[in-house]
């Protein structure tokens, strides 16, 4: 956990006071609707379909037990008893009342949390690998670099009124678990041939209406030059990004319009003027930041693993099924990272109740060094659990409805709040998620299908990342009715790709059956159980899927003709 | 004479902003558009002092030879949310080393003033509906900053940490 020093705390407290005064002026009629809108957005507050929606930042997904308990308190005191974890490792509350939001933010500040820059056309929360620090394919823990970047970007005086929102993701591992190629800036921590640490920088990725993968604009940036290079990119964007059309205002459009080569030339020319300025980090700045993160007091393997884990795997098949699906390897022997599934049947993906949050805080304290992580797949992780504690943890998670053994499977789908909550949405997504859950409830069947990423958004803005789903579903509005377009073959990982449209969209009644047909085609076409959905699709192409999906529709068309 | 904020105080504005059609008074400090400055440089020399209004799409470093000797450059916020002039001000101060007045004009609101000041603006003409005394207070809303920008008289977190 990163722990605030007095300066971090003072800045957050001053922000609360500032927003309290802004809210007071707005409610007193001294601050106009438009002016206040821009200010409240920079504190994560949207006015939504039914009520305000407040988005709280969870920097790089890392939460302490005390913070989780505060989120439970907020759910109870200001909301209807639950919160919604998002695809950017944040949490949203859908029912706070505007006059109470300053108090809510003051409560958050007592546990070193805030909602700064979680919406609006500014630099948003920095996201990272949810297995940072424990993954066995990691070069270095990216979180101190994320925190440096969070602080650099917080209240940045120059970059708070950009053409459009701006999102960063960091990754430092062989497998990209942070979807860096679909962010405005993706940062990969790397070593060069001389063994020096630095960054590979990608710019111009994004989802939404114009999905694009980021371009690599710098192969190697020295470790101490992070801020100057980021300022150069942001400055070029702030000055040259389009502001005439909200749908053409992201940096990806600028990079595309200029061409990556020209964009790189502009950034490098700007960077040359500032790289040796006060923006250069000192090695001790980085060391100091690393030192502010707690290091878990791991015990050695024999103490962490007393043999009970293996015995319970053999004795309890339900536990074994959960362990097979929901645990990931840990860099320390005797430990595992535990995924807490927020994709239970009958629950909107990513939703957690106040009681569950309190219980998770207890479990984190008991079993995982008082820390939790939020993932961009809308699950939670207890990252440092000793094997000896695994069975007890599973029993408790099961009681809480948080042990669905589906991590990475079809029902571990990600989805936005959709038409039920969001004023932007064209179609519902939570109901479709429920239909899919009902249809594929049999976990043996899901295991047989294997790893697959289903992602769903209720509109073109793509909060559910549908374009990079192995199967993507996009809700659209057709003369007042909810319809769903399907894409196949997308990925946000190392093999990042945008999905291909299958063809005409499906009605609300037909979308879940369509997903089932896609799965059937995959099972028929795959070259043994080892071949993944994505690999199969890339090998056989759209043809067989299209043929099955639209067979009936064409027949009807012929009859009608 | 209208009022503005300069040097931590509300004061009377000693400059007059002119559109391109209005005749230049013989003894006054006037702010004109860059286009007019270019077209009427000789006539304008009759005025006491000239400041130039620069469009927020202009490239500051390209313009620098034309701006360097001016006592005042006005940068515009045509509407709230258009933040280009924040970058322009930093370029003018930090890349070019401009020492004259950088004045914020247009949709200048109380809640944006401190960021403008940090980017190098040192005079502000707030929108008519803004309370100037409240605007003065807004210049000190935060008394700490994570990052240095053009003006670094705020205590800076990284510097404090390095000194600790």
HEC profile of A51-89: CEEEEECCHHHEEEHHHHHHHHHHHHHHCCCEEEECCCC
Please report residues of B whose CB lies closer than 8 A to that of A227.
147
| pLDDT, position A484 | 96
pLDDT digits (tens, 9 = 90+) for A76-91: 999 999 999 998 899 9
Q: Which two tokens stand for residue A529?
A: 């159980």
Minimum-distance CB partner of A11 among B111, B142, B162: B142
CA distance A331 to chain B (A): 32
Q: Do B86 and A5 touch (CB under 8 A)?
A: no
Q: Read off the pLDDT of each residue in A28-33 and give the average, rounded to a whole number.
A: 93
- Which residues of A are less than 8 Å from B149 in CB distance? 157-158
Nearest by CB to B90, from A14, A158, A288: name it.
Answer: A158
Model pLDDT, residue A393? 98
State the burial class of residue A4 (Cβ atoms within 10 Å of its Cβ: 0-12, 13-18, 19+).
middle
Number of Cα atoms under 13 Å in the Cβ half of residue A320: 9
Structure tokens at A206: 């994004």
Q: Which residues of B touch A158 (CB under 8 A)?
A: 83, 86-87, 90, 115, 119, 149
List the alpha helices (DSSP H) in A275-348. Answer: 283-291, 301-304, 308-315, 317-326
Range of the domain at B119: 3-163
What is residue A552's predicted lDDT score, i.e. its pLDDT? 64
* Residue A50 binned pLDDT confidence (cut-offs 50, 70, 90): low
Q: What percent of chain B has pLDDT over 70?
A: 98
Q: Are both A6-109 and A414-560 of the same fold?
A: no
Nearest Cα residue in chain B from A158: B86
- Which residues in B lie closer than 8 A to residue A15 (C-beta atoms)? 142
Distance between CA A189 and CA A220 in Å, rounded? 9
CA atoms within 13 A on the CB side of A72: 17
Residue from B93, B117, B135, B158 to probe the interface with A (highest A Cβ count within 10 Å): B158
What radius of gyration, in Å, describes the C-alpha atoms of chain A?
23
Confidence label for A535 from pLDDT (cuts 50, 70 and 90): very high
B118/chain A closest Cα distance in angstroms: 7
pLDDT tens readout for residues A483-522: 999 999 999 998 899 999 999 999 999 999 999 999 999 9
**Token representation of residue B90:** 């930093």
Q: What's the longest Cα–Cα distance across chain B?
A: 58
The shortest CB-CB distance from B147 to any of A5, A152, A243 is to A152
Beta bridge partners of A374: A380
Task: Please give the mean pLDDT across all residues of chain A.
Answer: 94
Cα–Cα distance measured from residue A7 to residue B145, given in angstroms and rounded to the nearest whole number: 9
Question: Cα angle at A97 between A96 and A98, to 5 degrees?
Answer: 115
Q: Which two tokens stand for residue B66?
A: 């034309």
Beta carbons of A72 and A111 less than 8 angstroms apart = no
| Contact check, Cβ <8 Å, A158/B149 | yes
For the stretch A242-301, pLDDT in tens is 999 999 999 999 999 999 999 999 999 999 999 999 999 999 999 999 999 999 999 999
Three-state secondary-structure class, residue B127? coil
Q: How far is CA B150 from CA A276, B96, B121, in A?
A: 15, 11, 9
CA angle at residue A315 from A310 to A318, to 5 degrees? 95
pLDDT class of A546 with cuts at 50, 70, 90: very high
CB distance A461 to A423 below 8 Å: no
Measure the CA–CA gap between A147 and A105, rounded to whole angstroms: 20
Higher pLDDT, A260 or B79: A260
Does the pLDDT at position B131 exceed 60?
Answer: yes
Q: Which comes out higher in pLDDT, residue A94 or A58?
A: A58
Best of A43, A149, A157 to mutate (most B CBs within 10 Å, chain B): A157
Residues in chain A closer than 8 A to B118 (CB atoms): 157
Q: Is the pLDDT of residue A425 over 50?
A: yes
Q: Which two tokens stand for residue A324?
A: 């097979």
> Cβ–Cβ of A278/B145 closer than 8 Å?
no
Q: How far is CA A190 from CA A174, A181, A233, A243, in A?
A: 10, 15, 20, 34
Residue-level pLDDT at A441: 85
Question: What is the pLDDT, as a whole number, of residue A559?
Answer: 43
Q: Which residues in B lie closer than 8 A to residue A154 (C-beta atoms)?
A: 146
CATH code given to domain A142-290: 3.30.413.10
Distance CA A438, CA A435 (A): 5
**Which candidate in A122, A158, A162 is best for mutational testing of the B interface (most B CBs within 10 A)?**
A158
Q: Which residues of A426-445 are buried (b: 16+ CB within 10 A; e: fewer)?
A: bbbbbbbbbebbebbeebee
Q: What is the tally of structural domains in chain B?
A: 1
- A354-394 pLDDT, tens digit each: 999 999 999 999 999 999 999 999 999 999 999 999 999 99
Per-residue pLDDT averaged across A414-436, rounded?
85
Q: Which of A10, A14, A238 sits opposite B84 (nearest CB)?
A: A238
Integer Cα distance of B52 and A359 in angstroms:
63
Specify whether the CB–CB gap between A306 and A384 falls below 8 A: no
Tell me the C-alpha distance between B30 and B27, whole Å: 9
pLDDT the model gives residue A134: 97
Cβ atoms within 10 Å of A450's Cβ, excluding its own: 17
CATH fourth-level superfamily of A414-560 = Sulfite Reductase Hemoprotein, domain 1 (3.30.413.10)
- Of the residues B57, B75, B81, the best mutation for testing chain A's interface (the one with the most A CB atoms within 10 Å of its CB) is B81
* Helix axes of A390-399 and A317-326: crossing angle, nearest 10 degrees: 90
End-to-end CA distance of chain B: 49
CA distance B98 to chain A (A): 16
pLDDT band at A21 (very low <50, low <70, confident <90, very high): very high
> Does A558 have pLDDT greater than 60?
no
CA-based torsion, A431, A435, A436, A441: positive or negative: positive
CATH class of A6-109: alpha beta
Chain B: closest CA distance from residue A11 (Å): 7
Top residue of A234, A239, A286 to mutate, by most chain B CBs within 10 Å, is A239
pLDDT per residue over B46-73, tens digit each? 667 999 999 999 999 999 999 999 999 9
Q: What is the CATH number of domain A301-399?
A: 3.90.480.20
Average pLDDT over every residue of A98-119: 97
Residue A425 token pair: 């949405």
What does the pLDDT read at residue A209? 84
- Distance spanning both ends of chain A, measured CA to CA: 65
* Pick from A353, A341, A359, A348: nearest CA to A82: A353
Helices marked H in chain B — which ranges? Answer: 34-39, 41-44, 60-67, 84-90, 113-118, 132-138, 157-163
Q: Which of B84, B142, B143 sits opposite A239 (nearest CB)?
A: B84
Pick from B76, B78, B84, B156 the residue to mutate for testing the A interface (most A CBs within 10 Å). Answer: B84
CATH number at residue B39: 3.40.50
Q: What is the DSSP string of A466-489?
A: GGGSSEEEEEEEETTEEEEEEEES
Q: In this complex, how many residue pairs, one in chain A and one in chain B, have their CB atoms less than 8 Å apart?
A: 90
pLDDT of B140 > 70? The answer is: yes
Shortest CA gap B22–chain A (Å): 30
For residues A345 and A410, what is the distance between their CA atoms, to the nearest angstrom?
Answer: 12
From A87, A133, A62, select the one nearest A364 (Cα to Cα): A62
Q: Which chain A residues are Cβ-neighbours of B148 within 8 angstroms?
A: 278-279
Q: Inter-chain contact B149–A282, Cβ cutoff 8 Å?
A: no
Ranges of each domain in chain A = 6-109, 142-290, 301-399, 414-560
Q: What are the φ and ψ backbone dihedral angles of A143, each rounded to 5 degrees? A: -65, -35
Q: Cβ A35–B144 below 8 Å, yes or no?
A: no
Structure tokens at A19: 């927003």
**Cβ contacts (< 8 Å) between B119 and chain A: which residues?**
157-158
Identify all chain B residues contacting A34, using CB atoms and an 8 Å cutoff: 80
pLDDT for position B2:
86
What is the chain B residue with the closest CA to A147? B146
Whether B144 sits inside 8 A of A7 (CB atoms) is: yes
Contact by Cβ (8 Å): A350, A85: yes
- Measured distance CA(B39)–CA(B59) in Å, rounded: 19
> What is the rounded distance in angstroms from the CA atom of residue A283 to the CA atom of residue A369?
28
The answer, yes or no, to whether residue A554 has pLDDT greater than 90, is: no
A314: how many CB neighbours lie within 10 A of its CB? 9
Q: Are A158 and B114 inside 8 Å of each other by CB?
A: no
Chain-chain contact of B119 with A154 (C-beta, under 8 angstroms): no
User: How distant is the Cα of A550 from the closest Cα of chain B, in angstroms?
Assistant: 46
Reported as a single tens digit per residue, the pLDDT across A130-153 is 999 999 999 999 999 999 999 999
Copy the structure tokens of residue A482. Answer: 């909810």
In angstroms, the CA A43 to CA A125 distance is: 12
Mean pLDDT of all residues in A389-404? 98
Candidates A34, A161, A282; nearest CB to B82: A161
Average the pLDDT over B127-135 and give the result.
Answer: 95
**Beta carbons of B111 and A35 less than 8 Å apart:** yes
Residue A114 has pLDDT above 50, yes or no: yes
Contact A191, A215 (CB under 8 A): no
Query: Of A262-271, A421-430, B110-119, which range is least confident?
Result: A421-430
Q: How far, in whole angstroms, is CA A270 from its chain's centroid?
A: 31
The answer to whether B143 contacts A151, with C-beta atoms less than 8 Å apart, is no
The closest of A118, A167, A172 to A144, measured between CA atoms, is A172
- Is the Cβ pair A121, B81 closer than 8 Å? yes
Q: What is the dihedral of CA A28, A33, A37, A40, to 10 degrees?
A: 10
Asked if the model's pLDDT at residue B4 lies above 70, the reply is yes
In terms of CA atoms, which chain B residue is nearest residue A277? B94
SS3 state at A266: helix
Mean pLDDT of A419-443: 86
- What mean pLDDT is predicted for residues A101-117? 98
> Which chain B residues are Cβ-neighbours of A243 within 8 angstroms?
82, 84
Chain-chain contact of B80 with A34 (C-beta, under 8 angstroms):
yes
CA atoms within 13 A on the CB side of A382: 32
**Residue A164: what are its φ and ψ, rounded to 5°?**
-160, 175
- Asked if B35 and B44 count as a contact pair (C-beta separation under 8 A), the reply is no
């Amino acid at each position: 956990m990163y722990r605030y020093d007095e300066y971090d705390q003072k800045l957050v407290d001053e922000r609360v006071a500032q927003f309290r005064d802004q809210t007071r002026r707005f409610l007193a009629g001294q601050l106009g609707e438009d002016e206040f809108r821009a200010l409240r957005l920079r504190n994560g507050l949207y006015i939504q379909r039914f009520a305000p929606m407040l988005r709280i930042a969870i920097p790089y997904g890392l939460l302490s037990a005390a913070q989780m308990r505060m989120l439970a308190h907020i759910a109870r005191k200001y909301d209807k008893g639950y919160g919604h974890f998002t695809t950017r490792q944040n949490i949203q509350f859908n029912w706070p009342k505007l006059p109470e939001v300053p108090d809510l933010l003051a409560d958050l500040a007592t546990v070193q949390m805030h909602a700064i820059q979680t919406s609006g056309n500014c630099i948003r929360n920095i996201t990272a690998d949810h297995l940072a620090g424990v993954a066995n394919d990691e070069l270095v823990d990216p979180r101190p670099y994320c925190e440096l970047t969070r602080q650099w970007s917080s209240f940045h005086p120059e970059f708070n009124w950009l053409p459009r929102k701006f999102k960063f993701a960091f990754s430092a591992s062989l497998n990209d678990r942070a979807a860096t190629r679909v962010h405005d800036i993706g940062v990969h921590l790397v070593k060069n041939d001389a063994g020096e640490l630095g960054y590979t920088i990608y710019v111009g990725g994004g989802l939404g209406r114009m999905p694009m993968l980021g371009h690599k604009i710098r192969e190697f940036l020295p470790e101490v030059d992070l801020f100057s290079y980021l300022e150069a990119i942001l400055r070029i964007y702030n000055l040259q990004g389009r502001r005439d059309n909200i749908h053409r205002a992201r940096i990806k459009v600028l990079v595309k319009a200029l061409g990556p080569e020209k964009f790189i030339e502009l950034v490098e020319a700007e960077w040359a003027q500032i790289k040796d300025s006060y923006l250069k980090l000192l090695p001790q700045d980085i060391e100091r930041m690393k030192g502010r993160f707690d290091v878990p007091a791991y015990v050695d393997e024999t103490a962490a693993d007393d043999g009970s884990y293996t015995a319970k795997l053999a004795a309890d098949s339900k536990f074994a099924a959960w362990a097979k699906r929901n645990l990931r390897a840990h860099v320390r022997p005797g430990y595992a990272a535990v995924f807490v599934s927020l994709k239970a049947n009958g629950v909107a993906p990513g939703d957690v109740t106040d009681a569950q949050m309190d219980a998770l805080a207890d479990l984190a304290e008991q079993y995982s060094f008082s820390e939790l992580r939020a993932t961009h797949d809308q699950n939670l992780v207890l990252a440092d659990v000793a094997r000896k504690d695994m069975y007890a943890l599973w029993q408790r998670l099961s009681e809480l409805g948080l042990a669905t053994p589906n991590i990475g499977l079809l029902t571990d789908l990600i989805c936005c709040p959709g038409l039920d909550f969001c004023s932007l949405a064209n179609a519902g997504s939570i109901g479709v998620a429920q239909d899919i859950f009902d249809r594929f409830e049999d976990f043996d069947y899901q295991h047989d299908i294997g790893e697959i990423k289903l992602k769903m958004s209720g509109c073109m803005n793509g909060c559910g990342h549908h374009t990079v789903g192995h199967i993507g579903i996009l809700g659209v509005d057709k003369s007042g009715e909810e319809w769903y377009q399907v894409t196949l073959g997308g990925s946000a990982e190392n093999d990042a790709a945008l999905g291909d449209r299958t063809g005409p969209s499906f009605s609300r009644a037909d979308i879940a059956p369509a997903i089932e047909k896609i799965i059937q085609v995959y099972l028929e076409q795959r070259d043994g159980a080892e071949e993944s959905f994505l690999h199969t699709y890339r090998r056989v192409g759209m043809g067989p899927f299209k043929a099955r999906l639209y067979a009936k529709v064409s027949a009807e068309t012929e009859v009608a003709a | 004479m209208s009022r503005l904020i300069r040097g931590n105080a509300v004061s009377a504005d000693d400059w007059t902003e002119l559109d391109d059609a209005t005749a230049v008074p013989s003894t006054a400090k006037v702010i004109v558009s860059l286009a007019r400055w270019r077209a009427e440089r000789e006539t304008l020399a009759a005025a006491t002092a000239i400041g130039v209004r620069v469009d927020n799409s202009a490239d500051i470093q390209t313009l620098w030879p034309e701006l360097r000797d001016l006592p005042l450059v006005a940068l515009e916020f045509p509407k709230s949310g258009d933040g280009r002039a924040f970058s322009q001000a930093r370029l003018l101060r930090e890349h070019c080393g401009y020492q004259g007045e950088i004045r914020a004009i247009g949709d200048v609101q109380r809640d944006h003033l401190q960021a403008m000041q940090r980017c190098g603006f040192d005079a502000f003409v707030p929108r008519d509906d803004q309370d100037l005394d409240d605007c003065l207070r807004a210049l000190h809303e935060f008394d700490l900053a994570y990052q240095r920008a053009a003006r670094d008289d705020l205590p800076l977190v990284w510097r404090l940490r390095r000194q600790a």
